[in-house]
Amino acid sequence: MSRPQPQNHNPAACAGIETNSSNTELPAASERRRSPRQTFVAKAVIRAEANAAAVTVGFTSNISTLGIGLHTRRPLPVGETFQMHVELGPVKWAARLRVVSCKLHGGTWDVGAEFVESDSAAAAPLAMAA
């Protein structure tokens, strides 16, 4: 069974999103990640912070201490922040993300995101120090 192709739309509508029609990989020397990645596959629900009604479902592909790789059917705007919820068996986890890359690849969008602290998490150490 073939996968449905994304609708033909202008990726430029989502600022900062690049399309990648080639199947070439970048050489290892161009690796810019600051933390090693581990394979991590789970269903993810991604909700835009700017518009809580905008929900996207996708799958994680890899994770590091600083960020996560995702595959979605819709592009996510670079620079925007999202709330991500992941369930893997009995484990439920949520994180706040900022999209750093989004590229069309093989019918889905490859999204790279970095973890960002929530306002409450950043304020917690300050509250304890007071």
Q: Which of 108, 116, 84, 118 lies closest to 4, judged by CA? A: 108
Average pLDDT over residues 57-63: 96
Q: 14 versus 115: which is more confidently predicted?
A: 115
pLDDT at 5: 40
Q: 53 versus 114: which is more confidently predicted?
A: 114
pLDDT at 32: 66
Residue 101 has pLDDT above 60, yes or no: yes
- What confidence tier does 86 reach under pLDDT thresholds 50, 70, 90? very high
- For residue 91 the two structure tokens come to 């484990």
Contacts of 37-45 with CB under 8 Å at 24 or more apart are 37/62, 37/63, 37/64, 37/69, 38/62, 38/63, 38/64, 40/68, 42/86, 42/87, 42/88, 43/86, 43/87, 44/70, 44/84, 44/85, 44/86, 45/84, 45/85, 45/86
* Whole-Å CA distances, 68 to 6, 12, 87, 103, 119: 23, 23, 15, 14, 20
pLDDT at 67: 95
Indicate yes or no: pTM above 0.75.
no
Give all domains of the chain, ordered by start, each with its CATH number: 36-129 (2.40.10.220)
For Cα atoms 49, 53, 59, give the angle at the middle one, nearest 5 degrees: 75
Residue 65 has pLDDT above 70, yes or no: yes
Q: Which of 107, 53, 51 lies closest to 75, judged by CA? A: 107
* Lowest-pLDDT range of 16-25, 47-56, 78-87, 103-112: 16-25
